[in-house]
Amino acid sequence: MGTQSTVESTPATAVPAISIIVPAYGVADMLGEALDSLQAQDRSDWEAIVIDDGDSRVAAAVAPYAQDGRIRFLQTDNRGLPTARNRAIAVSRAPFVALLDGDDIYRPNYVSTMLKAAEASDRIGIVSCDATYFGHDRGGERFSAYCAQALPASLDRLLRRDFNIFICTTIRRAAIDAVGGFDASLKSAEDLDLWVRLLEAGWEVAYVPEVLACYRRRPGQMSSNSVVMHQSALTVFERAEQRLAGRPEQATAAAMRAKTAKALEAELGIGRVRAGATGEGVTMLRNAGIHERSPRWRIAMALIRVAPWLAGPLIRFRDRN
């Protein structure tokens, strides 16, 4: 597991209603906004576990909050986001766990609203909500405007991405323990993997169609690395297809595995064109059926078929727009 230590300002006595997991690697300069949003909650019976995942700058960022006994600081070595979350969950004390990345923000009624939804039934394992984006390329748009929220939520709809669970979610601790937490072998899509396994195990999803969090968009974050995201998502769908053998959702997992493999090949093909390997990249784009994505891609591939040298300029034009 590696070395880790917990620093706590004031011993917490009463068991909190909810434990909020706050991984803060690489976002120390934004952590204060996240913790301020916790202290502004309209319910106070929470604890927060801030985990540095080996980032030495986090200690100074969390120090101003040392007098708040609800905020605990977990220092560890660097093992990546899934392991960081698992470590924090392991020392949490509440029957529900909520996720808040160190660069994101909760609305003041997040805890009260999510707990009310979670406590409606013992079968509810996950509660998702809507959110707004903020940051360098989006401002005020809703998560639901970009990511489908078709109801009722089901495993099949989750696999198809017809229903998307927002990362600032609340999860029943018993459900996390039952499926073994986040998969530390994944570099991305570890959240999707956990949601899929929870629904496979029979846990239900509750959805609050209200904006309860704000998701920060910034250059260089993991969600901007398309290749890594597709590689990890491909692994998630491959494993789900194997686990779902004999169940109706296996066909959906297989279809999504094939779709993701094409998306990955397309991203790799774009990368090869950017690197100057135009012939190889264009072949990969054709094999991936990228012309089926949109009218723009159909036109671009038609032009490239006539004049292959246009591939580089067209990809660079796409990157700028």
Domain extents in the chain: 4-224, 228-320
Residue 8 is predicted with a pLDDT of 42
What pTM was computed for the model? 0.91
DSSP assignment of 100-155 equals --TT-EE-TTHHHHHHHHHTT-TTEEEEEEEEEEEESS-SS-BHHHHS-B-SS--H
Q: What is the mean pLDDT of each run of 10 residues along the chain (321 residues)?
A: 42 84 97 98 98 98 97 96 97 98 98 98 98 84 95 97 97 97 96 98 98 88 77 97 98 98 95 93 95 93 93 87 69
Give the architecture (CATH level 2) of 4-224.
Alpha-Beta Complex (3.90)
- Measure the CA–CA gap between 39 and 31, rounded to whole angstroms: 13
